[in-house]
Structure 1
């Protein structure tokens, strides 16, 4: 049985973990800037600060929708806003190309959460770069989301797959697997479900979310 308090704790831990690196870079930049007098080095420090600020803003905007309640639970969010967030996250220091096939103008909040968390898993599955292909359609009775990661190496923790399948106990979840549990719960609450499949060079994630 899901424990909402424990899941919230894990999601907060995941958020803090992912923000630590860009915020830490900004902190280092401030320290260097305070002690540096060489103009060229100060310029590099300022660029380090700017890079950290961009990365932090990108992650906050992404996680605000992926993990939080931004926009209201009944809001339809424009698909263009979501593609911008995913493209920005994929561009953060990775050699990843994102391709889109979109058949909708907007998505309800539940589908947004599934899409963004799937995209996060897909991007993280490509530590050496590759291609993420995302398709979003409306069948008339449900929103259908399919994401495929392709690359020379696929990194997909078996426990993440177990969380998507509902085969992992709440006490065994951690900050890394909690987003997969969130996706499963959101899909189940909609009366839908999620699927996943992995090969040596590809990961496929899919969800069907019936209309309310």
Structure 2
């Protein structure tokens, strides 16, 4: 990947991050405006509740994207498994209709595998537009980490362009903020000798990744 396309992909990821944070941060601004003009004690209490909820969602998303897109954890190659578990749980709770089943037994996972796991989980949660269940598993075998994610619900909304990006079939000039995370983890998995797969069924989306240590 050239320097130009690296910069371009980073810009698209920033656009995606800003898009996802716009709603909770905007709610904070609106809540503060309402609070400053509201005299009724009950309504003020309600405004404070909404502010607390928006602040929690904003903080959770920032923590999620910091590890999913950025370099959280510094130079540590291994990430404790409870860290991505907590981040995904918070994202599922924000959706409000997703039940998370965490089935990762390893105490820690390599950072590239964690990035793939987080981004695939985000894609899966976005696909559960009417809620459902999210099963997440990861297993280490020597220097290889295998990830399996199953999102099941009454309706699955999955953009085939994301699928193409996951498998490296989407041209660079066709990548958008919506498909940029998928393109990123395709490149990350390929860089570590692995790959990404997906299967779309009537009521389920199955995502898988293999990541090998460099």
* TM-score category of the 2 structures, normalised to the smaller one: over 0.9
| Whole-angstrom CA distance in 1 between matches of 2:45 and 2:90 | 24
Among 113, 119, 123, the residue aligned to 1:121:
123
Aligned counterparts, 1:88-127, within 5 A: 88-127=90-129
Question: Is the Cα–Cα contact under 8 Å of residues 90 and 96 in structure 1 kept in the other structure?
Answer: yes
Deviation at 1:94, TM superposition (A): 2.3
Structure 2: gaps of 5 or more residues: none
Question: Is the Cα–Cα contact under 8 Å of residues 73 and 109 in structure 1 kept in the other structure?
Answer: no
Match of 2:43 in 1: 41
Deviation at 1:114, TM superposition (A): 0.2
Question: Is the Cα–Cα contact under 8 Å of residues 125 and 154 in structure 1 kept in the other structure?
Answer: yes
Question: Is the Cα–Cα contact under 8 Å of residues 190 and 209 in structure 1 kept in the other structure?
Answer: yes
Moved over 4 A (4+): none
Kindly provide the CA deviation profile for residues 4-45 of structure 1, in whole angstroms up to 9, marking residues without a partner as x.
Answer: 011000000000000000000000000000111111111111
Aligned-pair Cα RMSD in Å: 1.1
Kindly provide the CA deviation profile for residues 142-195 of structure 1, in whole angstroms up to 9, marking residues without a partner as x.
Answer: 001000000010111010001011111111111100000011011001011111
Aligned residues: 212
Structure 1: gaps of 5 or more residues: none
Relative to the length of structure 1, the TM-score reads 0.97
Relative to the length of structure 2, the TM-score reads 0.96
Query: Are residues 1:78 and 2:62 paired?
Result: no
Match of 1:180 in 2: 182
Among 141, 144, 152, the residue aligned to 2:143:
141
Match of 1:165 in 2: 167
